[in-house]
Amino acid sequence: MFGMVKPRIFEGLEWGIVVSGLVLGLLLVSACQSTPLSSNLPPFKLIPFDSKPQEVRFSGHDGVSLAGQFDWPPNSSQPALVFIIHHADPIDRNYYQYMAARLVPAGYAVFRFDKRGTGQSGGVYGCCEADDALAAYRAAIAQKGFDPTRVFIVAQSIGTKILAERFDEFAQIHQPAGVVLLSNLLKFEEILAIKTPLHIIVSDSEPELAAIGQGAARAHQTAYDYGASFYIAPQTEHSLFDISNGPIDWADPTWPDRFHNGTWVSLINWLNTQANSPGFSGYNSNFFLIVF
């Protein structure tokens, strides 16, 4: 059961946004006895959902042919767009199918892509992760059909590092209306590279939880007026899958069903608040912490 409390004010920093929970992800660094994902995983469940898929081919900075996919919500005109920056490992677009299966029925267009050397993308995995993410973002933004004022970037784990290190380049392609950092790895100074409304979702099992959760949100909130918030996902491993009934067995094809519900609620509530607000720079920076 959820209980909501309004935390005290920390040194003039007002925390106040509804925090509920969502997420994305599959990199395991965690203290949860899970086995990390790899490209050699057996087939896993793809969650059924209605969408209009669109294949997108684009080139990396070195000319390598790469592939991505839009999933468009049916019967929706000019939806908000969620662009996903993957965690580490040689994974293709299907590793984030569970995320699209939740976001598209909620009314969002989603773009995900095959990393170099996986799926339909050429080349060999092992280089150019940030460059390829930028190329994928450029290709997504070049398409028509989404609302350009409601573009959100959702980055997970090592993807949060990629986004911070190259944020100015992402913003030059198209300024995002907001960013969600799943399994955040950014601390105090690093988080300041993200110049847009920000929501952080991290597992309660993280060894540096204070720094990458509340500390990172607080640093961003102190430096900027965009608004920053965080959610701590209880009983999850690093990539925000639910371990309340035991560790994740990545050989079990039903692992996509165990994406933590609180993480999902937090993600979609934050996105909906941002997507439906009249302006993004004036986002309400107050923050309510949901306690379980």
Name residue 20's amino acid: S
> What pLDDT does 1 receive?
26
Residues 6+ apart with CB under 8 A from 245: none
Residues 6+ apart with CB under 8 A from 76: 107, 109
State CA 245 to chain mean position distance: 24
Domain 3-291, classified CATH 3.40.50.1820, yes or no: yes
- pLDDT bucket at 131, cuts 50 / 70 / 90: very high
User: What share of residues in the chain are helix, strand, coil (percent, to 5)?
Assistant: 25, 20, 50
**Residue range 172-188: average pLDDT?**
98
User: At residue 39, does pLDDT exceed 60?
Assistant: no
d(CA 204, CA 191): 19
**Residue range 150-175: average pLDDT?**
98
**DSSP bridge partners of 156:** 182
- pLDDT bucket at 41, cuts 50 / 70 / 90: low
User: At residue 218, does pLDDT exceed 60?
Assistant: yes
String of b and e for 127-147 (b: at least 16 CB within 10 Å)?
A: ebbbbbbbbbbbbbbeeeebe
Q: Are 99 and 131 in contact (CB under 8 A)?
A: no
Residues 6+ apart with CB under 8 A from 40: none
d(CA 27, CA 38): 9
**Residue range 223-244: average pLDDT?**
98
Least trusted range by pLDDT, from 3-17, 38-52, 101-115, 236-250: 3-17
**Residue range 34-56: average pLDDT?**
76
**DSSP bridge partners of 240:** none
Q: HSE on the CB side for 73, CA within 13 Å? A: 21
> What pLDDT does 126 receive?
86
> What pLDDT does 42 receive?
75
- Residue 75 burial class via C-beta count within 10 angstroms: exposed 0-12, middle 13-18, buried 19 and up: exposed
**E strand or H helix that includes residue 229:** strand 228-233
pLDDT above 90: percentage of residues in the chain: 76
> What pLDDT does 38 receive?
40
Strands (E) located in 24-141:
52-59, 65-72, 81-85, 109-113
